[in-house]
A = this chain, B = another copy of it.
């Protein structure tokens, strides 16, 4: 084959400047932790002075959570061909509980590395993978349970506080009492608090030791509500460059984690490029790749093949795996009378396998073997809801809750191995049935973080499912869901383009923030207050810049009132 030329070759960062330019009025700043290499990034938004009858009054800059990585920092040029700096490497080395391997230990990983046909696509600077020393357990949960506060935990504590302690203006600090439904968010997040939450399983820090580029973050109901956005090529529609660019775009708009749902021939290589350039945790659904390896024939899947896929991906650095181990053989018939059957792709694959072999799912029977892999790299479980409802009618049914019981059982098994767990949730649920999902999840899964797709609160608006689902996401986030998986306007209809991704992410940032406000998160309302003050004082530029999408706000404003005079009036 001919040598593949990446657009990255021509341009070091290879990215559309529109997605690397800092947001207007914003700059990336770093807050120093207890050691020089704990440098926590945030976004600082500058504000203009208030001009009143009696003079000027300064408005201090506002610091907000920043998921965008070094891409928006002009002082930290990124070379996509080399990947991001390995900021966690020293922390991992210091723990002295891992070994550097000679090369990939998965058969597939070895094969791909040796395959000349993929050489041209390959990320050049692949590090040899790292694995726990024999008998060691390298999960953040394991450290937490031994009383160790890792640099990751400290980093997260600083990050979650968002420099709120620097604000003194009472008008900005005022906030309503929240209703947390049992959430207990302290006024200040300390590293010790992070440790406790991880130790008891109420929060996770997805952070594979083979993803040292990661800027650590936590997913748990006593932290800011997070959002996930998906990307994924398909053979026909996109290239490696496009997938990397999608990831960068997704974190610019506010994706806290990214799931790579790619299919097709080069998913291994695409994943490597994404991981090496991603400052956020990357999740995958390994069964998708396993299925590719058996040419789409679910019944030909085997534990051995799946196991090799887990190791392949774990050694690349994937931070969490969706594993549909709750789709058990006896539950499959419970979906027979559903209006829309099984809609989860992973759920369908495993149901098909179970029925074809009339055997219990190998994900369930080999669950402890999977735990052994997870703890050797610190990959977190995202226990998939393969039997989630695909429509309003099927919400909260027997199949869904039977699976949830199994997810609770598996959570306790994983925790015996100190493996981190979150639980995936629906789907399509009418509003009056949402809280039952949350309450059951908390009780059945012992407060393991809940990670839901929406839920969509009605089925009748194809083309607007970012909205049908943002309504449900805001509510379930308020009730205690820790991470919301975004939905774009193209849900059920096609593949999202750039604008759809932006719409989906912003809709979900809104849902997450509305949930933080409702729970009474101490760092939430200050941004609403700052923006409202700017609005009241006709500081238009500040109003735009303090918002979730400054560019759109400005564009909409200028459409009808284009004069600069109107903006500073």
Contact = CB atoms under 8 A, between A and B. Distances in A.
Interface of A: 171, 174-179, 237, 339-341, 390-393, 395-396, 428, 430-433, 457-464, 466-468, 470-471, 474-475, 478, 489-490, 492-495, 497, 506-507, 509-511, 513-515, 517-520, 525, 527-529, 531-533, 535-536, 543-544, 546-549, 552-553, 555-557, 559-561
Chain A binding surface, main DSSP class? helix
A529 B391 contact: yes
Nearest to A464: B506
A222 to B, nearest CB: 16
A560 B238 CA distance: 12
B431 A532 contact: no
18 contacts: A176-B395, A339-B533, A392-B517, A393-B528, A457-B510, A460-B527, A460-B528, A460-B547, A460-B548, A461-B506, A461-B513, A462-B547, A463-B547, A464-B506, A490-B556, A493-B557, A494-B560, A494-B561
B518 A431 contact: yes
Given A458-B510, A471-B511, A490 B560 contact: yes
Nearest to A557: B493
B517 A547 contact: no
Nearest to A430: B517
B547 A461 contact: yes
A351 to B, nearest CB: 15
Count copies of this chain in the complex: 2
Nearest to A456: B514
A555 to B, nearest CB: 8
Contacts of A464: 506-507, 510, 548-549, 552
Contacts of A528: 391-393, 458-460
Contacts of A468: 510, 514
A448 to B, nearest CB: 24
A276 B227 CA distance: 49
B461 A510 contact: yes
A552 to B, nearest CB: 4
Nearest to A561: B494
B517 A431 contact: yes
Contact of A178 (B391, B432, B559): B432
Given A514-B458, A517-B430, A518-B431, A532 B492 contact: no
Given A510-B464, A528-B393, A493 B458 contact: no
Contacts of A510: 457-458, 460-461, 464, 467-468, 471
Contacts of A396: 176
A347 to B, nearest CB: 15
B461 A493 contact: no
A533 B474 CA distance: 27
A493 B547 CA distance: 12
A507 B470 CA distance: 11
Given A176-B396, A393-B525, A457-B514, 6 more contacts: A176-B393, A341-B536, A391-B536, A458-B528, A471-B475, A494-B557
A432 B176 contact: yes
Contacts of A466: 467
Contacts of A495: 560
Nearest to A236: B560
A461 B514 CA distance: 11
Residue from A513, A535, A556 having most chain B Cβ neighbours under 10 A = A556
A518 B560 CA distance: 38
Contacts of A557: 493-494
Nearest to A435: B179
A529 B458 CA distance: 10
A531 B460 contact: yes
A556 B489 contact: yes
Contacts of A497: 559
